[in-house]
Amino acid sequence: MSSISKQDYINSIEESASIISSEIGPEVIDSVFQRYGAHGAEDLDPADLPDVFSELYAIEADLR
């Protein structure tokens, strides 16, 4: 994992998830987590954190 800590990734994932959920609903977030075998940011494998963050950040950026 890079110099970004696990907790930083989790915080960023949760922040993006909150924004996405409020804009278009929690189904999108649930879908992303399910693809990685998780129910939430805390359930994610540490190796998947950068990928999940990137995916959610891209969705969030498209909302702007």
Q: Delimit the domains of the chain by residue range.
A: 6-63
Task: With cut-offs at 50, 70 and 90, classify the pLDDT of residue 2.
Answer: low
- Please report the pLDDT score of residue 4 as a whole number: 83
- pLDDT mean over 32-59: 96
Tokens for 34? 């399910």
Please determine, for residue 62, whether its predicted confidence score (pLDDT) is greater than 70: yes
Which residues, 6+ apart, have CB-to-CB distance to 45 below 8 Å?
36, 37, 38
- Please report the pLDDT score of residue 3 as a whole number: 75
pTM (predicted TM-score): 0.89
